[in-house]
């Protein structure tokens, strides 16, 4: 193994350990749900006359994506989109709110599950991880508990950024859902230009009131436990995991937000199926 490969593996391990520790802090972070409704981002962008794109890819099992954010985030979202437009860029929202069914499904979806497992097998030098270890890794990349999944709070979006004139994707070191040592926001393995782009995009999002999730270069949120914890405000989160009525926009806090969406036996079975799919 080359020195570069050792460095990449070491970095991945350290970052995923940090991501797991962060999630454990979020599990204990206080939430005082404010009850704000979820509002349509496409509608808000149209009303504000800003250029924003929205992914047309179906979700898990063909379910539609819910491009919504909390009412208090809409002004910041529009400000962020407008600043990107002025820069000559356009935001493409890849994902928004996720229901319990969607978040559970993503955790076992072959496209995502296989990508994470492939990297964990690589991390372990070709060895198959046990279920507990893999769950620990999965937790930092695909939230398996509503309490730590800010998409389920309706306070987070995943984004790509494109050139406004050409439509070409801005280089951030990899595409949306890259699962490798390039995935953490501050990965030293992306090019200098990709890092500059990440930093500039993050600065613009911060100006709109959003913080970046340190372990995925595409995830931004605000007003939730990630936001308050990362900014060390000492304040409780105002947005927690909720069910969402798409007709009214009203939200209902989940009664058991600390309950895992996928059990360890389910994950163990999917590890077996994934290894067969990948012929490992």
Sequence spans of domains, the chain: 3-278
> Quick one: pLDDT at residue 61?
81
> Quick one: pLDDT at residue 60?
77
> Quick one: pLDDT at residue 110?
92
> Quick one: pLDDT at residue 45?
98
> Quick one: pLDDT at residue 63?
84
Low-confidence ranges of the chain (pLDDT < 70): 1
> Quick one: pLDDT at residue 62?
84
> Quick one: pLDDT at residue 279?
81
> Quick one: pLDDT at residue 11?
97
Q: What is the pLDDT of residues 75-132, one digit of tens each?
A: 999 999 999 999 999 999 999 999 999 999 998 999 899 999 999 999 999 999 999 9
φ and ψ of 59, to 5 deg = -85, -170
Assigned architecture for domain 3-278: 2-Layer Sandwich (3.30)
> Quick one: pLDDT at residue 64?
86
Could you identify the residue written with the tokens 């193994």? Answer: 1
Q: What is the pLDDT of residues 139-152, one digit of tens each?
A: 999 999 999 999 99
> Quick one: pLDDT at residue 59?
84
Could you identify the residue written with the tokens 């809409």? Answer: 74
């Amino acid at each position: 193994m080359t020195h570069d490969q050792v460095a990449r593996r070491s970095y991945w391990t350290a970052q995923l350990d940090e991501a797991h520790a962060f999630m454990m802090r979020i599990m204990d972070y206080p939430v005082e749900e404010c009850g704000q409704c979820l509002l349509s981002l496409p509608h808000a962008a149209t009303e504000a006359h800003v250029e924003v794109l929205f992914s047309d890819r179906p979700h898990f099992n063909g379910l539609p994506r819910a491009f919504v954010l909390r009412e208090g985030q809409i002004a910041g979202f529009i400000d962020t989109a407008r600043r990107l437009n002025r820069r000559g860029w356009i935001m493409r929202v890849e994902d928004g709110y996720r229901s319990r069914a969607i978040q559970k499904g993503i955790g076992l979806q072959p496209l995502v599950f296989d990508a994470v497992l492939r990297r964990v097998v690589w991390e372990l030098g070709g060895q198959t991880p046990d279920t507990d270890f893999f769950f620990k890794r999965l937790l930092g990349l695909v939230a398996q508990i509503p309490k730590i999944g800010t998409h389920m709070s309706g306070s987070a979006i995943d984004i790509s950024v494109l050139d406004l004139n050409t439509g070409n994707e801005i280089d951030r070191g990899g595409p949306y859902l890259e699962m490798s040592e390039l995935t953490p926001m501050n990965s030293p393995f992306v090019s200098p230009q990709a890092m500059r782009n990440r930093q500039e995009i993050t600065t613009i999002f911060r100006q709109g009131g959003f913080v970046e999730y340190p372990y995925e270069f595409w995830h931004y949120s605000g007003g939730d436990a990630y936001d308050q914890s990362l900014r060390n405000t000492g304040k409780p989160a105002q947005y927690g995991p909720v069910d969402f009525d798409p007709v009214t926009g009203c939200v209902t806090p989940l009664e058991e937000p600390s309950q895992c969406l996928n059990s360890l036996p389910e994950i163990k079975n999917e590890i077996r199926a994934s290894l067969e799919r990948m012929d490992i």
